[in-house]
């Protein structure tokens, strides 16, 4: 199987084959790839982004706030006028943002996939899983009460780490957390926002934590997401994270 968007990774000698499609979602399609031996990995995940007009991510303008300042004036005008070039700029920025977020967070020790390489419309990431397939999503896991409480603590800790790095996930739920060998890995990061420049950041942080607390409540773990979020936000404002 050959995917045009993945040709740069073949050319760089990072992958030798595309094994199969793993997931097709609202933002991208993910493929399982066999890595070249010299990389030290057996597999990689290749995430190929859908063109903006095919994406179904809602209200993406809210996530773009704070990112426009880094664009050249010509590009900002194109985005404002919604020209074809403006759409291309937004698409490239979306992809670039996820890769940069992954680099920052992985370097900080966060539980996110290690970024390997990026092309014009795809990124190559650490494979979470084994030869039989990808790790299950958190929504597929049925932990005991004690395990659920421990997993929630881990996830809140990751949200705190993100915030310490001036990032808020913005779309966190049991659908974009992987569970593998007893640990969690947070995925899908292109929409992350910087709370220093995005007025919706606190609301997104609260929604993220309400989502995960609601999920773990199914297993008897009771925690108020909005109060957890408020505590983290207050500490972030005081530079105490």
Name the residue ranges covered by the structural domains of the chain: 13-133, 135-237
| Domains 13-133 and 135-237 are alike in CATH topology | no
pTM, 2 dp: 0.88
Residue 183 to residue 240: CA distance in whole angstroms: 26
Q: What is the CATH number of domain 13-133?
A: 3.30.200.20
**Within the chain, which residues score under 50 in pLDDT?**
57, 68-73, 75-81, 84-86, 88-89
Residue 31 to residue 24: CA distance in whole angstroms: 9
SS (H, E, C) the chain: CCCHHHHHHHHCCCEEEEEEEEEECCCEEEEEEEECHHHCCCEEEEEEECCHHHCCCCCHHHHHCCCHHHCCHHHHHHHHHCCHHHHHHHHHHHHHHHHHHHHHHHHCCCCCCCEEEECCCEEEEECCEECCEECCEHHHCCCCHHHHHHHHHHHHHHHHHHHHCCCECCCCCHHHEEEECCEEEECCCCCCECCCCCCCHHHHHHHHHHHHHHHHHCCCCCCCHHHHHHHHHHHHHCCCC
Strands 129-130 vs 133-134: parallel, antiparallel or unpaired = antiparallel
Locus of tokens 């290749």: 46
8 A C-beta contact, residue 146 and residue 140: no
Q: Which CATH number fits domain 135-237: 3.40.190.10, 3.10.270.10, 1.10.510.10, 1.10.10.60?
A: 1.10.510.10
């Amino acid at each position: 199987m050959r995917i045009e968007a993945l040709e740069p990774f073949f050319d760089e000698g990072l992958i030798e084959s595309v094994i199969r499609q793993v997931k097709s979602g609202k933002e991208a399609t993910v493929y399982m790839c066999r890595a070249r031996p010299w990389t030290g990995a057996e597999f990689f995940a290749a995430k190929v982004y859908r063109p903006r007009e095919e994406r179904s991510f809602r209200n993406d303008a809210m996530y773009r706030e704070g990112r426009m300042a880094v664009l050249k004036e010509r590009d900002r005008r194109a985005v404002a006028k919604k020209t074809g070039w403006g759409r291309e700029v937004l698409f490239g920025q979306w992809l670039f943002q996820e890769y940069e977020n992954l680099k920052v967070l992985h370097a900080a020790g966060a539980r996110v996939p290690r970024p390997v390489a990026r092309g014009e419309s795809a990124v190559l990431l650490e494979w979470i899983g084994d030869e039989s397939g990808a790790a299950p999503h958190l929504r597929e896991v049925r932990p005991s009460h004690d395990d659920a409480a421990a997993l929630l603590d881990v996830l809140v800790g990751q949200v705190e780490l993100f915030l310490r790095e001036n990032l808020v996930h913005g779309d966190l739920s049991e659908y974009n957390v992987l569970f593998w060998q007893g640990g969690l890995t947070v995925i899908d990061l292109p929409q992350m926002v910087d709370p220093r420049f995005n007025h919706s950041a606190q609301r997104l942080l609260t929604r993220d934590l309400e989502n995960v607390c609601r999920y773990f409540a199914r297993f008897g773990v009771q925690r108020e997401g909005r109060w957890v979020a408020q505590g983290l936000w207050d500490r972030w404002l005081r530079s105490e994270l």
